[in-house]
């Protein structure tokens, strides 16, 4: 019985380690990060960490090519990628103000043309917001996102989103990307509620 218990315990530990290795958190030498800098990272003179390293400090990524920053970033880079537990949806927080929908998606002419072509009006703003938020969390924890670019404004990603049309467009499903920046400790910040169509 003890031998069986040991086998099961070892198998459980192995599974936990494999799951942990699927996600990493970047640890740099700086005490600063992209959020503490208000969205634009700067060189940390105290530790000599560059702005790109500060921008990814404490951020969490799926451990796959194209979904996390290159580590090391440069010669003498001291950043590390430490294994962390696979996140749950409830672990994720969003920086996603409703203004991104009410005063951007339904106001800016090019974005307004897109969202109204799906049959939505400003009266649907809460539904559109909730769908984008829900799918962003779900896809982020699954590692279902694509790197866009890594700058001093953060590690930017595209997250796939699907909205079913409304009214005359109700038989259509619209596949597009929303744009986000990955922030520390499983937080993601919305840059745009519509970045591009998925087939572009």
Q: Are 190 and 178 in contact (CB under 8 A)?
A: yes
Residue 64 has pLDDT above 90, yes or no: yes
Q: What pLDDT digit, counting tens, does each position of 153-170 carry?
A: 999 999 999 999 999 999
Q: Count CB neighbours of 188 within 10 A.
A: 24
Band of pLDDT at residue 199, cut at 50, 70 and 90: confident
Band of pLDDT at residue 200, cut at 50, 70 and 90: low
Residue 8 has pLDDT above 60, yes or no: no
What is the distance between the alpha carbons of residues 68 and 86, in angstroms, rounded to a whole number?
15
Tokens 């920046």 correspond to 181
Mean pLDDT of 77-98: 96
Q: Count CB neighbours of 64 within 10 A.
A: 11
pTM over 0.85: yes
In this prediction, residue 79 carries a pLDDT of: 95
For 92-120, letters b (16+ CB in 10 Å) and e give bebebeeebbeebbbeeeebeebbeebbb
Band of pLDDT at residue 2, cut at 50, 70 and 90: low
Residue 19 has pLDDT above 60, yes or no: no
**Apex CA 85: angle with CA 80 and CA 87, to 5°?**
110
């Amino acid at each position: 019985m003890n031998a069986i218990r040991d086998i099961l315990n070892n198998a459980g530990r192995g599974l936990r380690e494999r799951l942990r290795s699927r996600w990493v958190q970047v640890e740099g030498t700086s005490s600063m990060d992209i959020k503490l800098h208000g969205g634009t990272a700067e060189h940390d003179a105290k530790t000599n960490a560059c702005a790109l390293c500060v921008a990814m400090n404490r951020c969490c990524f799926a451990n796959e090519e194209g979904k996390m920053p290159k580590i090391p970033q440069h010669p003498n880079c001291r950043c590390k990628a430490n294994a962390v537990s696979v996140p749950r949806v409830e672990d994720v927080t969003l920086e996603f103000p409703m203004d991104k929908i009410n005063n951007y998606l339904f106001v800016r002419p090019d974005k307004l043309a897109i969202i109204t072509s799906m049959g939505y009006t400003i009266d649907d703003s809460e539904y559109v917001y909730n769908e984008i938020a829900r799918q962003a969390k779900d896809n982020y924890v699954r590692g279902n996102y694509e790197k866009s670019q890594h700058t001093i404004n953060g590690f930017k990603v595209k997250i796939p989103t699907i909205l079913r049309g409304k009214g005359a467009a109700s038989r259509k499903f619209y596949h597009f990307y929303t744009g986000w920046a990955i922030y520390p400790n499983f937080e993601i910040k919305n840059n745009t509620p519509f970045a591009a169509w998925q087939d572009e």
